[in-house]
Amino acid sequence: MSALAVAIHALAATLWVGGMFFAYQVLRPSMPILDAPPPRLKLWLGVFERFFPWVWGIVIVLPLTGYWQIYNDYGGMDGVGPHIHVMQGVGWVMIVLFWYL
């Protein structure tokens, strides 16, 4: 079961971070091809309408699978190193920013 949690956790994190990378580093610089702002906005709205439902699912899956691993494999937060605490903090900051935006 732990291997499944690791796989789902890694996939969810890759989809979220990869989607943000694509939007910011690939799609945004390609926007000047569209002549006027209205088509650009329409494209962004279409992209986010498709991406954000995935992110809502990811926002649920990442903490569940992460805490499952921490408590199942390491016996709780005392059993993990500082890198896990940092990863948890960064993850919660990203989740709160997503909720806010």
Q: What is the pTM of this model?
A: 0.82
CB 36 within 8 A of CB 89: no
In the prediction, which pLDDT does 35 show?
80
Per-run averaged pLDDT (10 residues), the chain, 101 residues? 92 96 94 86 93 95 96 94 95 93 80
* Nearest Cα to Cα of residue 11 among 65, 48, 74: 65
Burial-class residue 69 by CB neighbours within 10 Å (0-12, 13-18, 19+). Answer: middle
Q: What whole-number distance in Å separates Cα of residue 65 and Cα of residue 70?
A: 9
Return the structure tokens found at 51: 């991406």
